[in-house]
Structure 1
Amino acid sequence: MAVRVARMVLAVFLGLGFLLPVSVGAEGPTPLAAAGYLVIPEPRSVQLSGASFALDGQWVVDPGKVAPNDIAVRMLIQDMRELNGVELSLGSAGSRVIRLAVERGAVKTGARQAVDDQGYRMVLERGRITITGNSLVGLFYGVQTLNQLVKQASDGSRQLPVATIEDWPSYELRFLHWDTKHHQDRMQTLKRYLDWSARFKVNMISFEIADMFAYPSHPVIGAPGAFTPEELQDLVDYGLERHIQIVPNVQSPAHMDYVLKHPEFAQLRSDGSNYQANTCDERTYELLFDMYQDLINATRGVRYFHVSTDEFYYPGIDPSCPKPYTPENKSLTWIDFVSRVHEFMSQRDRRMIVWLEYPVWPEHISQLPSDVIDGVLGDDYLPPRDPAVVGQQQVDAEKANGMDVLAYTWIQGSDYLLPYTFERDILGGVQRFLSREAKQLWGEYPLGAFGAAWDDAGLHNEVFWLGWSAVANWSWTPDAPSVSQHLAAFMETYYGPRVVGMTDVYRDLEEQVRFFRNSWDEAGSRERGLGYGYSDGKTPIMFKDMLLPTPPMPRLPGLDFVPIYQTTLYSGRVDEAKALLAENTGLMERLQENLGRADRNQYNLEVLYALASFVRHHESMLIGLSQVERHLQQARSAAEAYRPRPQDAVKSLIRAYQAAEAIVADRLATFAELTATYEKSRFPKGRSVDGRTYFHAYDDVKNHWAGTRPDLSFMTAPEERIGLEGWMADLKALTLEYAQSHGLELEPIEKEFEPGA
């Protein structure tokens, strides 16, 4: 629906015969979009003549002095064919030529060298298109713009505008976050992600690899089937060819349960917790430096290393630490750790990125090496103090120390199944922070931007692409476009121009998954012990699990019971499930339709379809639990009648059993379909390989949904806690006992409980 509306708006603009200027953040389209051309990221400067021309297979690509096998040449030809259906060939003669060139100063950016290198100038005329990059990088980005600029006219021809484009980024480094702590993508999946990242002009990936890397120095850390050094280097080389650096991101010294869970490293747990390594023990540095070196060796060509230091809650808490455990010493211990790791990284020519946050005091930042990059500008996770520390104090201290920062924004924190409020909070938040707030905080656009997509809740990476594209767009061109235009651009660019109503599909699926999350109860976990602590300090905490009550069990002799799902507490959820189930049917039909319409990234729609189906089952389950109780009520009515009707009571008990059986069967079938869909792009979660079994252990501090089980069944665990299978066994026994007490023949009744009866 939204794409259609966007096209209608563009048509109105075209019909007026002139172009309107659009201010930053305005809801109207940019001039390029108003002419019917949607590009991610939006180019910085576009001059349109109002005319257009056709692009077809008669055009040739003249690489000039650029090597014919350069990635810019290859992607131009490949994407024109695969994304636009235009078959181009190499050549220099003819009346229709796309000329490629590299010329220093082709576009005057006034920016530092690393940004200037990314600039390009494109002139589009009838019969000739010239793309000139300030470097090969700029040329590559110009090619990405051209490939997206092509639009399909109503007569089926491919059209381009007569125009001049001058373009370069505002943020030098544009990071997307691949978090793989709870899953492992297949290699072809990650290469596809690199292709699309390149199309969106992303040049940095922070690869939070955890135990999905086979560390040669400590093989026990790597999960079964983890990427080998050779595989990781192959992926890095694939990215470097596309001007993308895959920066290793090692969570340390906190969030280290993936290492410290192993008995071999138990002695390095800080104060006995597997969440954090003891930085007062020299062996911790030996271990970390081994891990860092393994990843440095497997990421040749990369200039950065992300040490993270994320949520380093308890620096110096171990009894072996020499300093008193005070807020000030916590900050100084953090500084000591980063300074020592920085020395290691500097000797290996890697620039270090950290999360500079709690528990660091602003007055201690001057002790840090000035070339450390803070990756979380805008994160207000600051040390509690009186008077309160404010974010500007930290920013001022970093600027005074000559540091660089990344504008941190997130597209996923701990939402379940799908990022919630994608339009207002995810896209709007990315736009707002990268276009205005980061610049206001830092005084200018920072060195880079970082788009975090956390794996805590085990979301499939396919659901991040809308958010990732937003980070790519507004870190390149912070001033444009509006959120609504970006939505339209993403749906057309990522799926192809023939999809319909995809923005509404996202909105409706968001509503569905929000209901999934909110319709569970939460109670203290019976599956794991107390936690070590949380951000405010060491204190035993009770983790919570999602669950719902087991259906009531009738009592003999009169089959009386206390209802649950027909009470006020749960009947509202059942009613909402009924309404949403009807909407879900339409949602799945629209996804199915767009699977046939999408020209690219159909697998992404398969994932969305699997999620819609998963929530459909949840809604059906709630309705089914209410139906179970209705059957129990009918059984009770028959048993308690003035003249009891035991045969009718038994029939109702059997119907209650069969309703529960249907819920279980549908859960198993739906989960099997979801698993099959997920595993097209990723390996089975918690798999065993070559005789090695995945070693699962709970994190002593965090309760990540995806970490509560070794496999994908964490998604069905809330329903499994209802205990329907056990309830069914008990109901069967009760039914037979009731029937026997009333002299009914048991054999035909027992057959009714057989599967498929």
Structure 2
Amino acid sequence: MKIQLLIISLLLAASSLYARSLDKVFQLLPQPQSVEVFPGKGIMHTDLKFVSTAPGTPVPILGALTDVLPRAGRGGKGLYLQLSGQNVPDSPEGYVLVVNDKGVIVTARTEAGLFYGCQTLEQLLEDSRDFGREIPQMKITDYPAIAYRAVHLDTKHHLDRMEYYYRMVDRLARYKVNAVIWELEDKLRFTRRPEIGAPNAISKQEMQALCRYAKERNVEISPLVQGLGHAGFILKHHWELRENPASDWEFCPSDPRTYEVQFDLYLDALEAMPYGKYLHVGGDEITAIGIDDRCKATGKTAFELQMIWLKKVCRFAVEHGRIPIFWDDMPLKYAGIWELVLSDKSEEEVAKVWDTSKLDEAIGLFPKECVYMRWKYEDAATSAHRRLLKWYHDKGLKVMGATAASAGDSPFMPRRNTRSEYVKGFSQLVADNQLEGILATAWDDGSPHLETVWRGFIAQGEFGWNPSARDIGTFKQVHAQREYGFLPEDNRMDFLDELEKAVFFFDGALVTSGHRNPAWGTSDFTLIGLPDKANPGAWSELYEDKIARAKIEADRYEKIAEGIRKAKAEALRNRYTLQVYEQTNNLQNYPVRLILALNDYDTAKDETARRAALETVAEVCDYFDVMRADLESVYSEIRFMQQPEGFISDLNHHNHLASKTNNSDWWYYYEIPMIRKVRAWMK
């Protein structure tokens, strides 16, 4: 053991005073706080021969390239691990990583820091292997800007396979995301209230096993069990607890039985997720509290009833060793500043109307033990939003930020660089104001495939750790390298920018009114008309704008398809994600193909051309079944594409697209009726 300590000391002493920049081939994500590179011979990915630890230092969970190394010391270069409070960052997740010609040493205060240092080393070894380059001598000093860096897993409308959740934990840990807040709804097999769990719900034992696996990788999983509002998954079974008999949206907060049910669900969730420190109680988007006789009899206002409920559930959380989290929109709506907080008004405009007097008067109703989750899914640095954060600070209330990797803005693709610019902006605000943490939400309103959301999750890893390190363009390039093994100059993921743009036409291509954008619920819709066989050309004139857009989107589709083809051929890993993008591209192109086929028919020059065009229309209709089968074959590799037998849908106050059908028909909300309409027209 003395020899091991001597080697460690030599390694540390070997750091030169003359630093230089890191070879651009080595792109770490998240970007470390400090990297010093020194002259001298470094190491290749094949050079490390063993793992050795200082006395009392455990070996953390290692990555694929280091876990294969023996734990017994031997000749050659090694990976040396030690726990120490000397010359390391104060952060419990901080570490120092030193590379020289004798090996690698990782030093940290805690096992979490050792784990993250080894994750960083894994990326260096990966780049050395992928690009045949020597890892230079260097010293990395690293720690997170934000202590609690979480993503949101929303399973209200679908479940993925359990093995995918295990892979998800590994991926989060790789990018130093250290928490998940899991919105369960009916996807946990509640034992105290078994009627609530869906037939395919995850058992408490399965969830406990996953949470232990996550804990070993420094990922903490906490439950979100919706309460007061968003309660359809409960109130479709418990009509007696409804505030409004015609709606399953809200509990009655004045009925003691409400808390009996709510607390039973909390207990099951806490037992299923035993290592988390939070209990998220929901509490957002309430529309009808205080209208039934039980509430009227209290003489309390709707806002008072809301806050009475909050105090009760917060007390329960604290009594059971958890910190309560509460979405904060309802107090802001009560105070009349909600729309202002959502706006991007200037400081001058905000100053004229900013008024927190209602909040000031009601401050006694705000539980101090609660964390108020301040959610804003776009620009978080607006004037009104900053004023609100200051109000929370001045009142001594704890706040956590919530941005979005997916905010229900499209059924199939998050937009704006997978919303990474919003993740970056809010992360910077959280770090600047020393808030309790940051959550990247991923709402299941349109139930996008999680692989299309992952770049936003990884952005939370990047910017939650180091908010100011990179701009969005550079982050996207490094993401492509880390996830797929593409060098930045290859630009292999440029197709993803185009795929995000294609969503806009797809969402409304086949309708003249209505929308399927799930952010605020689907609506009634009117499908486009069909060509009049007796009046050629009239249809194309009527839909001139749609046809022009369809031609642009047809070219975009080909560009995306070629980009994906090249990416699949060159990728070193994560080809499944590229397959998901490929099928998403095919789906988004389907309305384009149908519109252009109808246009060809409507503008045919003679009867022969007209018959040929009609055959093409029929082929496009038939192709739908092929496209759908291919998409669902790929998507279903990790997710269940329909609800299980016996599943009871709720009334769905928000009218989410993903709750339209228990099978997968909702994915093709306009396409299925449009094909039916076209086939009837062709007869």
C-alpha distance 459-346 of structure 1, shift in aligned 2 (>3 A):
same
2:476 to 487, 511, 524: 487
Whether 1:398 and 2:377 are equivalent positions in the alignment is no
State the one-letter code of the partner of 1:150.
L
d(CA) in 2 for partners of 1:422 and 1:727? 34
Deviation at 1:228, TM superposition (A): 0.9
2:497 to 507, 517, 520: 507
Whether 1:409 and 2:407 are equivalent positions in the alignment is no
Deviation at 1:512, TM superposition (A): 1.7
d(CA) in 2 for partners of 1:662 and 1:206? 46
C-alpha distance 380-188 of structure 1, shift in aligned 2 (>3 A):
closer
1:298 to 262, 272, 275: 272
1:567 to 537, 541, 545: 541
**Counterpart residue number, 1:41:** 30
Query: Once the two structures are superposed, what CA deviation does each residue of 1:286-332 show, in whole Å capped at 9, x if it has no partner?
Result: 11111111111111222211112232333323343126999xx2322
What SS class does the counterpart of residue 626 from structure 1 fall into? helix
1:333 to 305, 312, 332: 305
What SS class does the counterpart of residue 238 from structure 2 fall into? helix
2:679 to 710, 728, 735: 728
d(CA) in 1 for partners of 2:65 and 2:283? 39
Whether 1:551 and 2:537 are equivalent positions in the alignment is no
**Counterpart residue number, 2:374:** 376
Alignment of 1:290-689 (within 5 A): 290-322=264-296, 329-360=301-332, 361=335, 362-363=359-360, 364-376=362-374, 391=385, 394-423=388-417, 426-435=419-428, 437-439=429-431, 444-497=433-486, 500-521=490-511, 523=513, 544-546=523-525, 548-552=527-531, 554=533, 560-561=534-535, 565-568=539-542, 570-630=543-603, 652=610, 658-688=615-645
d(CA) in 2 for partners of 1:485 and 1:19? 23
d(CA) in 2 for partners of 1:721 and 1:561? 24
What SS class does the counterpart of residue 447 from structure 2 fall into? coil
What SS class does the counterpart of residue 134 from structure 2 fall into? strand
d(CA) in 2 for partners of 1:79 and 1:181? 37
State the one-letter code of the partner of 2:318.
S
**Counterpart residue number, 1:754:** none
d(CA) in 2 for partners of 1:148 and 1:584? 33
User: Is the deviation greater in 595-604 or in 453-462?
Assistant: 595-604
What SS class does the counterpart of residue 132 from structure 1 fall into? strand
Q: Is the 8 A contact 2:184 2:224 kept in 1?
A: yes
Q: Is the 8 A contact 2:45 2:129 kept in 1?
A: no
Q: Is the 8 A contact 2:536 2:603 kept in 1?
A: no
Bigger radius of gyration: 1
User: Is the deviation greater in 454-463 or in 155-164?
Assistant: 155-164
State the one-letter code of the partner of 1:514.
F
Query: Once the two structures are superposed, what CA deviation does each residue of 1:699-718 show, in whole Å capped at 9, x if it has no partner?
Result: 1x312221222222212121
d(CA) in 2 for partners of 1:599 and 1:714? 34
C-alpha distance 428-405 of structure 1, shift in aligned 2 (>3 A):
same
What SS class does the counterpart of residue 503 from structure 1 fall into? coil
Instruction: Count the aligned residue pairs.
Output: 634
Query: Once the two structures are superposed, what CA deviation does each residue of 1:81-100 show, in whole Å capped at 9, x if it has no partner?
Result: 7xxxxx63333232311101
C-alpha distance 119-624 of structure 1, shift in aligned 2 (>3 A):
same
**Counterpart residue number, 2:352:** none
1:694 to 639, 647, 654: 647
Q: Is the 8 A contact 2:95 2:141 kept in 1?
A: yes
C-alpha distance 137-151 of structure 1, shift in aligned 2 (>3 A):
closer
Deviation at 1:204, TM superposition (A): 0.7
1:128 to 103, 106, 128: 103
C-alpha distance 281-658 of structure 1, shift in aligned 2 (>3 A):
farther
d(CA) in 2 for partners of 1:726 and 1:249? 43
Deviation at 1:240, TM superposition (A): 0.8
d(CA) in 2 for partners of 1:514 and 1:680? 27
d(CA) in 2 for partners of 1:506 and 1:728? 34
State the one-letter code of the partner of 1:509.
L
State the one-letter code of the partner of 2:527.
L
**Counterpart residue number, 2:173:** 198
d(CA) in 1 for partners of 2:102 and 2:466? 29
What SS class does the counterpart of residue 425 from structure 2 fall into? helix
Query: Once the two structures are superposed, what CA deviation does each residue of 1:459-506 show, in whole Å capped at 9, x if it has no partner?
Result: 111111111111111111122122222111111111124694333111
1:240 to 206, 210, 215: 215
Deviation at 1:238, TM superposition (A): 1.0
2:160 to 176, 185, 188: 185
C-alpha distance 553-318 of structure 1, shift in aligned 2 (>3 A):
farther
d(CA) in 1 for partners of 2:537 and 2:207? 56
C-alpha distance 90-439 of structure 1, shift in aligned 2 (>3 A):
closer
d(CA) in 1 for partners of 2:290 and 2:86? 52
**Counterpart residue number, 2:14:** none
Q: Is the 8 A contact 1:407 1:450 kept in 2?
A: yes
C-alpha distance 380-308 of structure 1, shift in aligned 2 (>3 A):
farther
C-alpha distance 406-343 of structure 1, shift in aligned 2 (>3 A):
same
C-alpha distance 519-407 of structure 1, shift in aligned 2 (>3 A):
same
d(CA) in 1 for partners of 2:679 and 2:132? 62
What SS class does the counterpart of residue 494 from structure 2 fall into? helix
State the one-letter code of the partner of 1:123.
V
Query: Once the two structures are superposed, what CA deviation does each residue of 1:84-141 show, in whole Å capped at 9, x if it has no partner?
Result: xxx63333232311101111344143xxxxxx21111111111121101110011001
d(CA) in 1 for partners of 2:513 and 2:523? 5
Deviation at 1:230, TM superposition (A): 1.1
**Counterpart residue number, 1:93:** 74
Q: Is the 8 A contact 1:54 1:157 kept in 2?
A: no
State the one-letter code of the partner of 1:298.
A
C-alpha distance 148-381 of structure 1, shift in aligned 2 (>3 A):
closer
What SS class does the counterpart of residue 249 from structure 2 fall into? strand
Query: Once the two structures are superposed, what CA deviation does each residue of 1:356-414 show, in whole Å capped at 9, x if it has no partner?
Result: 222354223443332211222657999xxxxxx95456434533443322122112212
State the one-letter code of the partner of 1:347.
E
C-alpha distance 248-152 of structure 1, shift in aligned 2 (>3 A):
closer
d(CA) in 2 for partners of 1:178 and 1:470? 15
**Counterpart residue number, 1:708:** 660
d(CA) in 1 for partners of 2:298 and 2:492? 57
Identify unmatched segments of 5+ residues in structure 2.
1-17, 336-358
d(CA) in 2 for partners of 1:349 and 1:625? 63
Identify unmatched segments of 5+ residues in structure 1.
1-17, 21-30, 82-86, 110-115, 383-388, 528-533, 536-541, 555-559, 636-647, 733-757
Q: Is the 8 A contact 1:414 1:457 kept in 2?
A: yes
**TM-score, length basis structure 1:** 0.77
C-alpha distance 157-524 of structure 1, shift in aligned 2 (>3 A):
closer
Query: Once the two structures are superposed, what CA deviation does each residue of 1:405-464 show, in whole Å capped at 9, x if it has no partner?
Result: 2122112212224545423x82222222222x3456xxx321211111111111111111
Deviation at 1:592, TM superposition (A): 2.1
Deviation at 1:221, TM superposition (A): 2.1
Deviation at 1:655, TM superposition (A): 5.1
